């Protein structure tokens, strides 16, 4: 990605494989930012290398699409050391991935690393539920949880949703 304007927030979402939760979070934030007229850069990655170069899970694509968001073009990639310099915020979708991120964090990384739901009052420390081994209802629950965090993130960045 390379270095970009320091005044534009650069947000990275991280889950295990980068095929369910983090691509849905990427799509949800892109859509919310576009709707609010906010300029930011958004991406998603996994801590594991299982799905590098793969598109999101078809259930994740369908869930996002049901909310008017197209994530079909997202391709899985793995967290890199450069991400700690290229992004202003790195959000883990659960505690295991937060630990994986922190284990890879370089000494001079500049990104703020935290758990996504720490943004939502009353949900601090909670994971975004992993829908991979469940059914479509789990993907919808995941989407709703992500959207709650995206609204809080936009507000934290100094913007307000309608």
Residue 130 known to be catalytic: yes
Residue 3 known to be catalytic: no
10, 15, 20, 30: the catalytic one is: 15
43, 86, 130, 142: the catalytic one is: 130
Residue 30 known to be catalytic: no
Picking from 56, 19, 23, the residue whose alpha carbon sits closest to that of residue 146 is 23
Q: Hey, which residues does 11 pair with through a beta bridge? A: 42, 89
Report CA torsion sign: 56, 61, 67, 73.
Answer: positive
Residues in the chain: 162
10, 20, 21, 59: the catalytic one is: 21
Structural contact between residues 20 and 131, judged by C-beta atoms closer than 8 angstroms: yes
> Which sequence positions are flagged as catalytic?
15, 21, 130
């Amino acid at each position: 990605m390379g270095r970009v304007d320091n005044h534009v927030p650069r947000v990275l979402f991280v889950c295990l494989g980068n095929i369910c939760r983090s691509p849905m979070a990427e799509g949800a934030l892109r859509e919310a930012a576009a709707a609010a007229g906010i300029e930011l850069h958004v991406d998603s990655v996994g801590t594991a290398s299982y799905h590098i170069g793969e598109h999101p899970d078809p259930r994740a694509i369908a869930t996002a699409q049901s909310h008017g968001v197209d994530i079909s073009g997202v391709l899985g990639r793995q967290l890199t050391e450069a991400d700690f310099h290229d992004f202003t915020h790195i959000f883990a979708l659960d505690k295991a991935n937060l630990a994986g991120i922190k284990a890879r964090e370089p000494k001079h990384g500049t990104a703020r690393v935290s758990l996504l739901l720490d943004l939502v009052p009353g949900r601090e420390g909670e994971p975004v539920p992993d829908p991979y081994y469940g059914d479509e209802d789990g993907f919808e629950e995941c989407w709703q949880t992500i959207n709650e965090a995206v609204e809080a993130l936009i507000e934290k960045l100094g913007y307000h949703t309608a």
